[in-house]
C-alpha cells in the first residue's frame, strides 16, 4: 500500500541551528501539507502546497519556516533558526481529491 | 481561527464497554473525519463523513455528522485493548486549493483488560 514517508524519524538540534525535514508524498498526489503536534497537544496545520506554491499557511508558519518541492518526489520543511518552542512532531501529509494520508512524523527536539 | 472542542479529554474504561466521544465547532464544516493516533505515529483515518446527518459505521466504530454541520460523534462498541490511543476529530471546509483539516483537542482512551 502506498504511504507517505518521512525522514529523519527523530532529530536533535541546538537552538539557532537550521533543520530540514524531508517527506516523500504518495506518488500521484497533488496536494501536500505539513502539520505540527507539540507533545500532548492537538495536531496543528502549518502549510499547504499545491502546483509548486504555498496555497495557505497558518500564523505558526512565520519567516523562519519554508517549504520546497525540489524535485518530483520530495517535499521539505526547513526551519531556518530553530527555537526551543519548535520542539514537536512534524507530520507530512498528501492527497489527491479525497483522503489525507499522513506520514509517521519526524520528532524534532531543540535543546 | 476555527476551533474544535472535543470531549471528553480522556476516558478510562474496562474491556467490553462502549465508548462515546464528541466534537463541536463554532464553524460549519463540509466534512468531518475521525482519526486515531498511536504513540509515536501519525494519525490514521477511521471514518469520514461527507453529508449532514450521515451515520457511518466501520466495524465496531460508528460516527455521525451532526445536522447543523457543527458537530460529530464517534462511538466504539465492545472496546478491546488495541483501541487504546488518542482519537481526534477533524473538520474540513472544502473549496479553494487548501482543504486543510482543523483538528480537535483529542480524546485519550485507555482500555483495561
The verdict on a CB contact (< 8 Å) between B43 and A43 is: yes
Contact status, residue A97 vs residue A29, Cβ threshold 8 Å = no
- Record the cell numbers describing residue B33, joined without a space: 473525519
Chain centroid to CA A102: 10
Q: Other C-beta atoms within 10 Å of A44: how many?
A: 17
Q: What is the pLDDT along chain A (111 residues), one digit of tens a residue?
A: 779 999 999 999 999 999 999 999 999 898 999 999 998 888 999 999 998 899 999 999 999 999 999 887 899 999 999 999 999 999 999 988 778 899 999 999 999
Q: pLDDT digits over B2-42, tens only?
A: 788 999 999 999 999 999 999 999 888 889 999 999 988 88
pLDDT of residue B34: 95
Residue A34's pLDDT is what?
97
| B97 band by pLDDT with thresholds 50, 70 and 90 | low
A48 contacts chain B (CB < 8 A): yes
**What's chain A's average pLDDT?**
93
Q: What is the pLDDT of residues B35-62, one digit of tens each?
A: 999 988 889 999 999 999 999 999 999 9
**Cell numbers at B102, concatenated:** 482543523
What integer pLDDT is reported at residue A96 of this predicted model? 81
Please, are residues B102 and B15 in contact by the beta-carbon 8 Å criterion? Answer: no
Tell me, yes or no, if A33 comes closer than 8 A to chain B by beta carbon.
Answer: yes
Consecutive H or E run containing B4:
strand B4-7
Best probe of the B interface among A21, A102, A107, by most B CBs < 10 A, is: A102
3-class secondary structure per residue, chain A? CCCCEEECCEEEECCCCCEEEEEECCCCCCEEEEEEECCCCCEEEEEEEECCEEEEECCCCCCCEEEECCCCCCEEEEECCCCHHHCEEEEEEEECCCCCEECCCEEEEEC
3-state secondary structure of B100: coil
DSSP helix/strand/coil, B82: helix
Q: Which of A1, A43, A94 to mutate to test the interface with B (most CBs of B within 10 A)?
A: A43
pLDDT category of residue B1 using cuts at 50, 70 and 90: low
Amino acid at each position: 500500500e502506498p504511504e507517505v514517508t518521512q525522514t529523519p524519524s527523530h532529530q536533535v538540534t541546538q537552538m539557532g541551528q537550521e533543520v530540514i525535514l524531508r517527506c516523500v508524498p504518495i506518488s500521484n498526489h497533488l496536494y501536500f501539507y505539513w502539520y505540527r503536534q507539540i507533545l500532548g497537544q492537538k495536531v496543528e496545520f502549518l502549510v499547504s502546497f499545491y502546483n509548486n506554491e504555498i496555497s495557505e499557511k497558518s500564523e505558526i508558519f512565520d519567516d523562519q519556516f519554508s517549504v520546497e518541492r525540489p524535485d518530483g518526489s520530495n517535499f521539505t520543511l526547513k526551519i531556518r533558526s530553530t527555537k526551543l518552542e519548535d520542539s514537536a512532531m512534524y507530520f507530512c501529509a498528501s492527497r489527491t481529491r479525497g483522503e489525507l494520508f499522513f506520514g509517521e512524523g519526524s520528532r524534532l527536539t531543540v535543546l | 481561527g476555527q476551533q474544535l472542542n472535543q470531549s471528553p479529554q480522556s476516558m478510562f474504561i474496562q474491556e467490553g464497554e462502549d465508548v462515546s466521544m464528541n466534537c463541536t465547532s463554532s464553524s460549519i464544516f463540509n466534512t468531518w473525519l475521525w482519526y486515531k493516533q498511536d504513540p509515536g505515529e501519525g494519525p490514521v483515518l477511521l471514518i469520514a463523513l461527507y453529508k449532514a446527518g450521515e451515520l457511518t459505521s466501520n466495524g465496531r466504530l460508528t460516527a455521525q455528522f451532526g445536522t447543523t454541520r457543527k458537530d460529530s460523534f464517534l462511538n466504539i462498541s465492545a472496546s478491546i485493548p488495541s483501541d487504546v490511543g488518542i482519537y481526534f476529530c477533524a473538520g474540513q471546509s472544502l473549496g479553494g486549493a487548501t482543504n486543510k483539516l482543523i483538528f480537535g483537542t483529542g480524546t485519550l482512551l485507555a482500555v483495561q483488560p
